[in-house]
Copies of this chain bind each other. A is one copy, B any other.
């Protein structure tokens, strides 16, 4: 395994691999790897000759006042986990390399995919995500790229961007990985106190209840959303950002629940913002 910071070196390495008919799998991350990331790396390892992991806490997807500086980092631990997962190349650039003086170019998406849900409270967030993923795809030249469904909207946005800009990359969404108690894995979970961690379980609990309601025949989105809000409001240190029932591919809100309906949740527990989601037609493991 090799760690490369220089963009040209990494790009040339990947172009050479392609020229030698090697397939490239790519997992872009902001580091502080957990089981969710590792599940993406495991899948990438199975599917391609060269497995590339990027670790880059991307400043353009954080707004002023968000947790860019506080975002958890532990490169040595990440490197060890990557080696274990069979990663061939870690791309580990600095912000100055990715956004040098005079940098001016951004990739953005219009419409509900980026201005609802996460985009409603974080208006420049997805512009940062699509810009950095477009750059990373151009640098790494992957055939396959893996993203967790935990960031459901991010996956939808990146899929759309990849198709729209004709990037020759297959974007693959992978299932949410959960802790044994059901909390969705997130690098931000380390911020939670014991009491907050207990309250955070209301996310997966409300998802379980919603899935059960739908299984029992409820097709009324408003009823399910009400139930979820009430469940979440039982927690003293939890404040709701949004509870929405959307048509998965378009992220449009729909009154009636169908096979493509996704429940999307964003809350703050204490100071920590958590998200979770679930395709309601599927059982929660």
Contacts and interface: CB of A to CB of B under 8 A. Distances in A.
Contacts of A134: 107, 165
For the complex formed by this chain, how many copies does it contain in all? 2
A160 B110 contact: no
A113 to B, nearest CB: 6
Contacts of A141: 168
A75 interface: no
Contact of A135 (B103, B111, B165): B165
25 contacts: A7-B166, A11-B166, A11-B168, A19-B19, A102-B160, A102-B250, A103-B164, A104-B109, A104-B111, A104-B161, A105-B107, A105-B108, A105-B130, A105-B160, A106-B107, A106-B108, A107-B107, A107-B165, A108-B108, A134-B165, A135-B164, A138-B165, A138-B166, A138-B167, A139-B166
Interface centre among A11, A15, A18, A105 (most CB of B within 10 A): A105
Given A19-B18, A19-B19, A21-B19, A138 B104 contact: no
